[in-house]
Chain A
Amino acid sequence: MDKNDSLKEELKKIEIPEELHERSRIGIAQAKKEMIKSRKKINLRRIGIVAGLMLAFAFVFLVLYKDMFDVVKEAENSPQESPNESEALSVVYFADYPYYEDFQALVENSDLIIRGKVLDSTVQLIDVSGPPLTDEELKDEKLNPHLDGERAEEEFIELVYTVSELEIEEVYKGTYDDEIIQVKQGGGQIGDVLYIEQDVEMLAISQSYILFLKTFDTVPASLLNPYQAAYVYTDGDIESFHPGNNISLDEEKLQTLKEKFQNK
């Protein structure tokens, strides 16, 4: 037994009290209580984006004592205006996305994989309600994660997005005829209200990215999720855009993709 093992053994002899679990639980419960109390921003976890935004508007109303509809109307009339962010009221919301186990799953679920350079971005209200889900789609947990196979009521879903325009530099999977593609990300500032979707970091203008996208007929494409679907591309160097991304990407993988999907 070396010197390190002997110390480890001695440390392990420190008896663990029975109440240890309980003390951990108390500490966390106390933190949770204070977080709920002090949270000025609305935590909309689990209730989905749609209900979340409704509550967010209610929050705006309660805090400012303004007519909620005026705020919305003003916002719709001037979507491109971006007053000083520090003066804007922030509304934070959460959205759940599918999480991909590995690179293969990420590729399989992408309609389009590209490298592109961001030319510009704008904030828009976009109706993403789309066509109703089929019975088959309703049972797909990825498409309908919270409803357990039940049908949601038909709804009009207009959400705030930052839409980036990218000049396509390379296509690795899928086909795309135009040179420019629009990619939307949740959040952005409309009027006096800054909408922040937790964990979403906006693509930066003039930067190139490799993106794993879902495409739609009537609205801009989306990243598969905010954590795993974007990589920063700088002079041949590829780096995950989100620090929590566990899926690595390199030029070799991209070339393999290109060969595989171009041969199809």
Chain B
Amino acid sequence: MRLMVEKDLMKEVSSLHTFIKKAQKGDDKAFLTLFQKYEADIYRIAFVYVKNKSDALDVVQETAYRSFKKITQVKKPEYFKTWLLRIAINHAMDVLRQKSKVTQIASKFEERDTSQMNCQMELKISLQDLMNHLQPLEKSIVLLKIYQDLTFNEISKTLDMPLGTAKTIYYRALDRLREQVKGGSKNG
């Protein structure tokens, strides 16, 4: 069974490689085929940031534009999806900045010992909590971790930050959401 999964995975990577190679040679149809595999995920992630259909569609279009122009930068097909998501997230954050709806987050993050944290905490995160109570970078990490099932290692590469920082922000975001949920319960 495991062998079959690995075989399928290798086949997928090989097919991805073929499409990326074609796209890198300027084949826009090959790139469109590739991109459409991920466009729904990109749209949904963008929507969490910009909170409306029109801006989320703009983010998808801009991501398609930027990614095709930079496709030659992709060296490892297995990172294609995280590379796309990175472009989408960066652009979604640009849109927010332009609209002045976002305050700049601190560039230095306090490292803390995540191993001591209670990872088993019960927390039911709603989409509204995620959209309304987290800062952009926290949203990125929670989305990549929970929605895209990326590992912390992959997240740190996607967002270009140290592994420890990604973990710290993730658990801090969960703490913040937990507080919101608790507060909401008390008030409700």
Q: Which residues of A contact B125 (CB under 8 A)?
A: 3, 6-7
Q: Report the bound CA distance from A31 to B57 in whole Å.
A: 16
Report A140 CB to chain B, min CB distance, Å.
Answer: 20
Known: A3-B125, A16-B40. A244 touches B28 (CB 8 A): no
Q: Report the bound CA distance from A158 to B78 in whole Å.
A: 38
Whether A28 and B31, one on each chain, are in contact in the complex, defined by CB atoms closer than 8 angstroms, is yes
Whether A3 and B75, one on each chain, are in contact in the complex, defined by CB atoms closer than 8 angstroms, is no
Whether A3 and B122, one on each chain, are in contact in the complex, defined by CB atoms closer than 8 angstroms, is yes
Give a binary string over A222-250; 1 marks a CB under 8 Å from any B CB, 0 the rest: 00000100000000000000011010000
Say what secondary structure dominates the interface of chain B: helix
Whether B76 and A243, one on each chain, are in contact in the complex, defined by CB atoms closer than 8 angstroms, is yes
State whether the Cβ of A131 lies closer than 8 Å to any Cβ in chain B: no
Q: Report the bound CA distance from A30 to B68 in whole Å.
A: 10
Q: Which of A19-27, A61-69, A171-179, A213-221 is found at the contact surface with chain B? A: A19-27
Count how many chain B residues have C-beta atoms less than 8 Å from C-beta atoms of the other chain: 47
Q: Which residues of B contact A31 (CB under 8 A)?
A: 28, 64-66, 68-69
Q: Which residues of A contact B182 (CB under 8 A)?
A: none
Q: Which residues of A contact B126 (CB under 8 A)?
A: 6-7, 10
Whether B68 and A32, one on each chain, are in contact in the complex, defined by CB atoms closer than 8 angstroms, is yes
Checking B17, B57, B60, B124 against A3 with a beta-carbon cut-off of 8 angstroms, the contacting residue is: B124
State whether the Cβ of A99 lies closer than 8 Å to any Cβ in chain B: yes
Known: A6-B124, A7-B147, A243-B75. A20 touches B68 (CB 8 A): no
Report A225 CB to chain B, min CB distance, Å.
Answer: 11
Closest to B45 in A: A11
Q: Which residues of A contact B21 (CB under 8 A)?
A: 199, 227, 244
Q: Which residues of A contact B39 (CB under 8 A)?
A: 20-21, 24
Give a binary string over B62-90; 1 marks a CB under 8 Å from any A CB, 0 the rest: 11111011000001110000000000000
State whether the Cβ of A45 lies closer than 8 Å to any Cβ in chain B: yes
Report B47 CB to chain A, min CB distance, Å.
Answer: 5
Q: Report the bound CA distance from A241 to B149 in whole Å.
A: 30
A1-43 contacts to B, CB under 8 A, are 3-4, 6-8, 10-14, 16-17, 19-21, 23-32, 34-35, 43
B14-29 contacts to A, CB under 8 A, are 14, 17-18, 20-21, 24-28
Whether A7 and B31, one on each chain, are in contact in the complex, defined by CB atoms closer than 8 angstroms, is no
Q: Which residues of B contact A243 (CB under 8 A)?
A: 75-76
State whether the Cβ of A155 lies closer than 8 Å to any Cβ in chain B: no
Known: A7-B130, A8-B147, A246-B13. A27 touches B61 (CB 8 A): yes
Q: Report the bound CA distance from A25 to B65 in whole Å.
A: 9
State whether the Cβ of B157 lies closer than 8 Å to any Cβ in chain A: no
B46-64 contacts to A, CB under 8 A, are 47-48, 53, 57-58, 60-64
Closest to B28 in A: A32
State whether the Cβ of A198 lies closer than 8 Å to any Cβ in chain B: yes
State whether the Cβ of A101 lies closer than 8 Å to any Cβ in chain B: yes
Whether B44 and A11, one on each chain, are in contact in the complex, defined by CB atoms closer than 8 angstroms, is yes
Checking A16, A20, A25, A94 against B32 with a beta-carbon cut-off of 8 angstroms, the contacting residue is: A25
State whether the Cβ of B3 lies closer than 8 Å to any Cβ in chain A: no
6 residue pairs A–B, Cβ–Cβ below 8 Å: A3-B122, A6-B125, A11-B44, A14-B48, A25-B64, A246-B77
- Residues of chain B whose beta carbon lies under 8 Å from any beta carbon of chain A: 10, 13-14, 17-18, 20-21, 24-28, 31-32, 35-36, 39-40, 43-44, 47-48, 53, 57-58, 60-66, 68-69, 75-77, 122-127, 130, 143, 146-147
| Closest A-B pairs by Cβ, 8 of them | A27-B64, A27-B65, A27-B61, A10-B127, A31-B68, A243-B75, A23-B61, A32-B28
- Residues of chain A whose beta carbon lies under 8 Å from any beta carbon of chain B: 3-4, 6-8, 10-14, 16-17, 19-21, 23-32, 34-35, 43, 45, 94, 99, 101, 198-199, 227, 243-244, 246
Q: Given contacts A8-B146, A10-B127, list 11 more A-B pairs with CB under 8 A.
A: A12-B44, A20-B60, A23-B57, A27-B60, A27-B63, A27-B65, A28-B64, A31-B28, A32-B28, A35-B68, A244-B76
